[in-house]
Amino acid sequence: MSEKENVVDNIILDGSTKIEQAGSTGLVLFSTLRSDAKPILQHDNVSVEGVDYPKLFSAKCAICNSPLRELLEHVYIDCGKKVNPVIIFFEKHYGAKLNFAQVKQHVNYHCDFNKIEISGLKSYEGKGEEFARWKYREYELALNVVLSEIDNIGGKSTRTLDDSFKKASILEKLNKQLMMIKQQRDDSTLGLPNIFEVLHDLHEKLLHEDDRRIVRETANELRKIIS
Ligand SMILES: [Zn+2]
């Protein structure tokens, strides 16, 4: 069997597609893949929904011109923005050849992955199991979310006085939220960790005296509410 027939056997292409040989590897060039190119190996784990970022177009770039451009970019994002897994993906699933420099050029200059926007739904993907763990423990989850937010904001350094006030006011709001959640939790029948222990742990984690003071005040306010 000739090499050309090998390629045809390996990949189902539209009849009018010009098959170009990419050296003696038995692979077709990525640029020859049409939008209806059928994978030789099924892949259903690359999601192209819910992720958005600015895309540029270069007429000279084979990837920009390819109908599989978006799939390639999502494989790139999914694998942690590495070029080699992209090359391997297309070899394995489409019997198609890409070269490193070509992919690098495209992902570096024709897409702006620094501005990736992930819709709320995309970020929930694959988290069913994680959420299941929290079922019936929603107050605990909410408490953890607010606490980690407080921790996160509390750990941020501020440059100006204005920023310090903003930070303090955010922390105060978060602490109020914390108290609300606590109240709601107490109204429910769920047995959850002691809020004072939680606040104490948080207090010990915070680095700045201002933040620690807010947590102490919150604990005092809480004590007044429940005493
Ligand atoms: Zn490109």
Domain boundary among 118, 133, 151: 118
Q: Which residues of the chain have pLDDT under 50?
A: 1-22
Do 26 and 113 fall within a single domain?
A: yes
Q: How far is the CA of 41 from the centre of ligand 1 (A)?
A: 25
Q: Provide the CA 141 distance to its chain's centre, in angstroms.
A: 20
2 belongs to a structural domain: no
Amino acid at 144: N
Q: Is residue 198 part of a domain?
A: yes
Query: Separation of 104 CA from ligand 1 center, angstroms?
Result: 9
CB 67 within 8 A of CB 34: yes
Nearest Cα to Cα of residue 111 among 136, 84, 75, 144: 75
- The rounded distance, in Å, linking the Cα atoms of 211 and 203 is 8
Same domain, 11 and 110: yes
Total tally of structural domains belonging to the chain = 3
Report the distance separating Cα 71 and Cα 78, nearest Å: 10
Which pLDDT score, from 0 to 100, does residue 225 have?
A: 76
Lookup: tokens for 45: 């784990």
- Residues 81, 157 within the same domain: no
In a domain, 161, yes or no: yes
Closest CA to 57 of 74, 49, 72, 69: 69
Structural domain including 77 reads: 7-118
11 CA to middle of ligand 1, Å?
Answer: 24
* Claim to verify: residue 125 and residue 226 sit in the same structural domain: no
Distance 14 CA to ligand 1 centre (A): 23
CA of 64 to the centre of ligand 1 (A): 4
Residue 142: inside a domain: yes
- Closest CA relative to residue 54, chosen from 132, 142, 124, 116: 116
Q: Are residues 183 and 208 in the same domain?
A: no
> What is the SS3 assignment for 174?
helix
Domain shared by 209 and 185, yes or no: no
Strand pairing of 51-52 and 117-118? antiparallel
- 105 and 15 co-located in one domain: yes
CA distances from 12 to 20, 34, 79 (A): 14, 10, 26
Residues with CB under 5 A from ligand 1 (ion): 58, 61, 63-64, 106, 110
Give the whole-angstrom CA distance, residue 10 versus residue 142: 52
Pairing of strands 28-29, 96-97: parallel
Distance 71 CA to ligand 1 centre (A): 13
29 shares its domain with 72: yes
Kindly give, in sequence order, each residue whose CB lies less than 8 Å from that of residue 173, ignoring residues fewer than 6 positions away.
Answer: none
* SS3 label, residue 96: strand
Give the amino acid at 82.
Answer: K
Q: Is residue 169 part of a domain?
A: yes
